[in-house]
Amino acid sequence: MNTPRSSTLMAAAALATAALALPGAAHAEDPATPGRFVDPVGVRVPAARTLANFAEPVALAADAVLGLESADLDARSYDVPGQIVVDARDDLDGSELLSLASSAGLTFVPTVLADQTRIHVASVPPGSEQQVMELLAKDPRVEAVEPLARVRAFFAPNDPLLKEQWHLERVGATRAWDFATGRGVTVAVVDTGIACETHGPFNKGTDLASTSCVPGWNFIANSEHASDDHGHGTHVAGTIAQSTHNGLGAAGMAFHARLMPVKVLNENGWATTASVADGIRWAADHGAHVINLSLGGPRNSKILQSAVDHALSRGAVVIAAAGNSGGAVNYPGASKGVIGVSASGQDDKIARFSSRGEEVDIAAPGVNVTQQTVCNRGRDKCERFQAFSGTSMAAPHVAGAAALVMSLGVSEPQAVEEVLRSTARVVDESEGAKKLYGAGILQAGEAVARVTQVHAAVRIVALLALTAFLARTVARKGRGSTNPWRLSFLLPALAAGPGLFFFAPWVLPRVSLPVDLLARPLADLDLLIGLSVHRWLPLANALIPFGLTALLFGVKPLRPLVAGLAVGTAAYLTSIVVLGEAGGPLGRLALVLWCGLNAAACLWIARTNLVDER
């Protein structure tokens, strides 16, 4: 039965399809040369208004109504006619790249990060894409070649503004804030931009006023000003880190996290696989610890997968929306190493539009999600609180939860995913439900509570075991030696190991900075500066106890304090090895060796301070 609504949808889809089918050969001019550019849909537009000036063509298309797609999308549905992506070997220089292009009769247009990636876009006659790709695939100078494909924002705006954010309560956000608020973690939102700054016609969102934003990048305008001219990215960012407890508007999952705006989607909500890949790489290389991708398309792009692999190698957690087709999971949501997120409603059932499949890792609320967003293309200080629906709205709940977990020192991407999956709430135990929910519905409160409990337990056990070992060693030395079972030893040991007030989150919320400081071990204080700093463990090594020993050894009453600090540090280092959830900048083996050597050195320092060798 055709209703007026379905007729409208069909008409809009037909118009979009017709627009995409317009004939025309796409040719990108030299990015340094002013002029005109024939975009991938064959409409001639001024070069100043395209990405040709910025070395990368972009696919322009009409936004699909409500962000909903057909369930039978195949990988070719979003391919840009007459455009392919070539990933050349990284060791090729400019002349070799020119030779490669000439041998295939092509002109390469570099992507924004082509100097690093050797990824270029080439224009070919429409219909000859497969033939040219087969030819290039045989060339040993080419690592990968594939169609240039569009990706798009996944959202479906809903009608009235909801007064309550049911979705935050459903994932346990209020409980989570007792244990973590995201301090020290940077979350990149690779999207349409964020209302993070006041610049030109754009303004910082009023309910992002107390949210910290770090510098980002605009891949559409090739500038550092990644303002939102669409509204999707600001809404997504609000779920992650909307300013909270400010008496205004809505709340966010990890409101003390830092937002990094990376604009790859144009004002119509479209981008290409190449530009999204560039955005992922840029975010990872500029300090993002979590990367949110509320976008996607049906093309299983090797270019995207390579960018995801790069981000994972830099220690970033990559989270993506599953898609809104109700069919197969889109990419990068289905890409290897990415946490793919489906959308659930207030009844905990999977939303009818949510894509599904084995690639779904976890579900999160994605229906009637209320956050602040911009209107009027982000201009004239136009903003509103609006309820959107889509897997785009589900993914940032998981990104915010990942930021909460990482702010507690869990920095290995696989460990973060395991925490989120193992604490998810199972609502359907049937085998088929795994394709809908993955591990279950996100429970951020349970995730951070469990991490806090496990950290405290392991560090206390390690501290007690090391103190007992040290006590036996000291006892053998007989008279003159100091027994470690005293407050002057145990208090600094607790401060350095599990944290002097490790139990604080069960009494007072860590929203307050003083409470957060007291609840953390001394070695975790650098997390407040940033997770990137903490990965080097500058406060968890033998240098500090050694320096204090050199300064204070002559003051005998202070020796137990230094010894306690040393043993507490050794307990903390032991917990890192036992838990296996921290990522080191030089790899797992180097981290284990560092922790083992420094823990042994700390025990030696403690023994030196407690034993009187005279």
Q: Which residues are catalytic?
A: 191, 232, 392
Say which DSSP state 482 is in: P
Helices in 431-505 by DSSP H: which ranges?
434-437, 444-475, 487-496
User: Which residue do the tokens 């979590």 mark?
Assistant: 290
Alpha-carbon gap, residue 387 to 369, rounded angstroms: 5
Q: Is 469 exposed, middle or buried (0-12, 13-18, 19+ CB in 10 A)?
A: middle
Alpha-carbon gap, residue 595 to 570, rounded angstroms: 8
Q: Is 255 exposed, middle or buried (0-12, 13-18, 19+ CB in 10 A)?
A: buried
User: Which residue do the tokens 């540090």 mark?
Assistant: 569
Pairing of strands 258-263, 217-218: parallel
Whether residue 363 contacts residue 383, with contact meaning beta carbons closer than 8 Å, is answered with: no
Alpha-carbon gap, residue 382 to 195, rounded angstroms: 11
Assigned token pair, 579: 């838990």
**Torsion sign (Cα): 486, 487, 492, 493:** positive
Task: Name residue 272's amino acid.
Answer: T
Instruction: Give the alpha-carbon dihedral of 539, 542, 543, 548, to 10 degrees.
Output: 100
Say which DSSP state 301 is in: -
E strand residue ranges, 543-595: none
Alpha-carbon gap, residue 234 to 390, rounded angstroms: 15
Which of 287, 279, 335 is CA-nearest to residue 314? 287
As a whole number of Å, the end-to-end CA separation of the chain is: 97
Which of 243, 324, 342, 233 is CA-nearest to residue 283? 233
Alpha-carbon gap, residue 89 to 98, rounded angstroms: 13
Which of 604, 602, 585, 466 is CA-nearest to residue 533? 585
Alpha-carbon gap, residue 421 to 443, rounded angstroms: 9
The continuous run of DSSP H or E covering 386 comes out as strand 383-389
Cis upstream peptide for 140 (omega within 30°): no
Helix, strand or coil, per DSSP, at residue 267: coil
Whether residue 121 contacts residue 155, with contact meaning beta carbons closer than 8 Å, is answered with: no
Q: DSSP string of 512-535?
A: SHHHHHHHS-GGGGGGGT-HHHHT
